[in-house]
Amino acid sequence: MTHPVVSREEWLTARKKLFARERAMTHELDALRAERRQMPWVRVDKPYRFEGAEGERTLSDLFAGRSQLAIYHFMLTPGSDHICPGCSYTVDHVDGARQHFEQADLSFAAVSRAPIQRIEAVKKRMGWTFPWVSSGEGDFNYDFGVSFKEEDRVAGRAAYNYGLTPIRNSPDMFGVSIFVKDEAGDVFHSYSTYHRGTELLMGAFNWLDLAPKGRNETGGTMSWLRLHDKY
């Protein structure tokens, strides 16, 4: 790996120039996050049901006594042996982080369409402890934009990431949805993000982005990525 080499003084000049841009971006992100928190909510009236390791769960149950809930829409498709490396990479960060964000009134659960037996087998293999439930063939994944009926894919009606990405070959995609419960117990949908929006949760990328090689994707996007037990 070759790179320009300069004196400490020249390096400090370049660093201060970049630092000014970093500070400006930090303030811009602060403003964006504030705007995100002010997004309007949508009341969730549909009685979604999930299957967990200990039986049936409602969306309200997944809050686990807190007023906020983050759902990770994990690509684990019924009838498929494939475990999405990108989804796995994302949720590898969850168990450590939730020790902290649960203290700030945010619960977490992953949701997939695969049967709970398949979910539990993957969870055991990967060593994850977070809640993970099956939505089966219920409406949840379809209503929140991460699963697509075959007839819609064939007809070109299936669109992902707020309509930016046509979906033809994959019945499931990934994303994050945030829900809120008020004092009366009513549940609301406050936010969802898909595709590159989920990079916010991939902490290892932030470390790589500090280094000269960056994400080191010489073979394509996330080309080096594997399930953590396959490295």
Number of domains in the chain: 1
Residue 221: the pLDDT is 81
Structural domain boundaries enclosing 142: 42-205
Q: What DSSP string describes 86-100?
A: HHHHHHTTHHHHHHH
Judge whether 109 lies within some domain. yes
Q: What is the mean pLDDT of residues 84-111?
A: 98
Judge whether 14 lies within some domain. no
Residue 130: the pLDDT is 98
Residue 154: the pLDDT is 93
Which residues is 92 bridged to in the sheet? none
Is the per-residue pLDDT at 220 higher than 90? no
Give percent above pLDDT 70 in the chain.
100
**Dist CA 134 CA 115 (whole Å):** 6
Q: Strand, coil or helix: what is 8?
A: helix
Judge whether 119 lies within some domain. yes
Judge whether 98 lies within some domain. yes
Tokens of 101: 């964000």
Mean pLDDT of the chain: 96
**Dist CA 153 CA 170 (whole Å):** 8
Judge whether 117 lies within some domain. yes
Q: What is the mean pLDDT of residues 163-184?
A: 96
Give percent above pLDDT 90 in the chain.
95
| CATH code: domain of residue 95 | 3.40.30.10
> pTM for this structure?
0.94
pLDDT level of residue 119 (50, 70, 90 thresholds): very high
Half-sphere exposure of 86 (CA within 13 A, CB side): 14
Closest by Cα among 91, 125, 126 to 111: 91
pLDDT level of residue 73 (50, 70, 90 thresholds): very high
Judge whether 61 lies within some domain. yes
Judge whether 53 lies within some domain. yes
CB 70 within 8 A of CB 108: yes
Q: Which positions ≥6 away from 185 have C-beta within 8 Å?
A: 60
Least confident of 9-18, 41-50, 102-111, 212-221: 212-221
pLDDT level of residue 1 (50, 70, 90 thresholds): confident
DSSP label at residue 168: S
